[in-house]
Amino acid sequence: MRVTHSIALATGFGMAIVGSFTPLAAADDFPSKDVQYVIPFGPGGESDISARLQQKYFEEITGEQLVVQYMPGGGGAVGWSQLSDMSNDGYRIMGSNLPHIILKPMGKDVGFQTEDLNNFFYFHYSPDAILVRNDSPYETLDDLIQAAEQTPGAVTFSGSGTYSANDVANTRFQQLADITTTYIPFKGTGAAVTALLGGQVQAEWGYTTVAANHQDKVRMLAVAAEERHPMFPDVPTFNELGYDMVGGAYRGMAVPEGTPEEVQQELSEIFQQINENPEFQQEMQDLGFVLMDVPLEEMDAFMAERQEVYEATARELGLID
């Protein structure tokens, strides 16, 4: 035990020194050592869980480890503001989340700009969804809208955080359906779903993933995905019901400024390959995620499109004018 320990220590030292002095390795043999994957949130959340699922397939494809680390704080801001200080050889990648990376820096200085993150791949999203308890009187989305129309503000929604994906979804939905509800922000999705299960609120802005975890206790009224989720074939999408809402919490990966183009391309392809693995697809689907592929070459267009959507909502929320 002690011997292996000291060997590990010695190799670690060696690696640290070699890693910091050798010039960048050519992209075709990237990666030639472990890649550090920094999650800008604490462990146990959805960003962590999806990263954990990617972990083993990354090793299968590259033969190197994907080492998950955490840098929580400020709803991701603590991590993202430090991304530019990290080594840009491609061996440091960081989780990147929408709408966070666009909404956070809006109208205030949080230590990073949306442009500081070089996103190289976006791999899935958790579609927004309206959840109610199994015993709720609201059977359909229309029931809920009717209740909100009768007494504006009386229908309460729990959700995670202010100016967050849930808050954005709620604001957009209020606009589209022309209703007024009360959005009550909680610290994290866990607290928001607890409030729903405990009957403190009538509905929750959550995700398909929340419904997947609490299948026996909640039902969804509508899902903000393009098509119905295979796990919930009976739940309509907002589009079907006449509301133009597709969105949720998108997740991807970013590297610091100055990371060589070839390395970014290589990383993008590796994660594309992971997304194509049927086993990975099944695992992600079982948890309620929806996979998508936004590789490096499509990233700018995707970001521009999301930026537009969030800017419109941010104006409504009064974040920017």
Partner 1 sequence: MMKARPRMQATCSARSEFLLPLLFIAVSGLCIWQARDMSQLGAIFPVTIAVVILIAGVLRLGQLVMHGVHSNVGRERGSTPRRVLLVLAMTAWALIMPWAGFLLAGLASFVTLMLIAQHEPWTPRRLLGHLIAGAVLVAGFYGLFALLLNVPLPVGKWWMG
Partner 2 sequence: MEILSYTLGALSPVNLGLALLGVASGIIIGALPGLSATMAVAVLVPVTFGMAPESALIMLGAIYTGAIYGGSYSAILVNTPGTPSAIATTFDGFPMAKRGDGDLAVTLSTLASVAGGVVGVLALLTLAPLLAQVALSFGPVEYFWLAIFGLTLISALSEGSTLKGFMGAGFGLLLSTIGVAVVGGDTRYTFGSQVLLGGIETVSALIGLYCIPVLIDLVATPEAHLKVDEEQRGIRLREGLGHAWLGKLNLLRSATIGTVVAILPGAGGSIASLVSYSEARRASRDASSFGKGNPQGVLATESANNATVGGGFIPTLVLGIPGTPPDAVILGALLVQGFRTGPELFTTNASITYTFIGGLFLATCLLLPLGLLIGRYAFKSIITIPKALLVPTIAFMTVIGTYAIRNSVSDVVIMLTLGVVGWLLNRYGFRPSPIVLGLILGPIAEQGFVQGFLMGRASGAVVSTFFGGPISLTIIALSVLSVFYPMIKVRRARRRGHDGGGSHQEVS
For partner 2, the binding residues (CB under 8 A) are 42-45, 48-49, 52-53, 55-56, 68-75, 77-78, 81-82, 108-111, 153-156, 161-163, 182, 184-187, 190-191, 193-195, 197-201, 213-217, 283, 286-287
Residue with smaller CB distance to partner 1, 71 or 218: 71
Give 36's contacts (C-beta < 8 A, 6+ positions apart): 67, 69, 91, 92, 93
Closest distance of CB 251 from partner 2, Å: 15
Give 120's contacts (C-beta < 8 A, 6+ positions apart): 93, 252, 253, 254, 255, 264, 265, 267, 268, 271, 295, 296, 299
Enumerate binding residues for partner 1 (CB under 8 A). 5, 8-9, 12, 16, 20-21, 36, 38, 67-69, 71, 85, 87, 92
Q: Tokens at residue 179, please?
A: 């209703």
Closest distance of CB 214 from partner 2, Å: 6
Partner from partner 2, partner 1, none contacting 43, C-beta within 5 to 8 A by type? partner 2
3-state helix, strand, coil in the chain (%, to 5): 45, 20, 35
Partner from partner 2, partner 1, none contacting 44, C-beta within 5 to 8 A by type? partner 2
Partner from partner 2, partner 1, none contacting 184, C-beta within 5 to 8 A by type? partner 2
Closest distance of CB 214 from partner 1, Å: 29
Residue with smaller CB distance to partner 1, 21 or 244: 21
* H or E element at residue 173: helix 165-177
Partner from partner 1, partner 2, none contacting 5, C-beta within 5 to 8 A by type? partner 1
Q: Are 121 and 294 in contact (CB under 8 A)?
A: yes
Residue with smaller CB distance to partner 1, 8 or 176: 8
Q: Tokens at residue 138, please?
A: 């609201």
Residue with tokens 């976006």: 122
Residue with smaller CB distance to partner 2, 109 or 305: 109
Nearest partner of 16 among 28, 8, 5, judged by Cα: 8
Closest distance of CB 164 from partner 1, Å: 16
Q: Tokens at residue 306, please?
A: 């999301």
Q: Are 152 and 180 in contact (CB under 8 A)?
A: yes
Closest distance of CB 69 from partner 2, Å: 7
Closest distance of CB 78 from partner 2, Å: 4
Q: Residue 31: is the preceding peptide bond cis (ω within 30°)? A: yes
Give 171's contacts (C-beta < 8 A, 6+ positions apart): 183, 313, 316, 317
Burial of 265 (0-12, 13-18, 19+ CB in 10 A): middle
Amino acid at 184: I
Closest distance of CB 318 from partner 1, Å: 10
Partner from partner 2, partner 1, none contacting 49, C-beta within 5 to 8 A by type? partner 2
Residue with smaller CB distance to partner 2, 182 or 265: 182
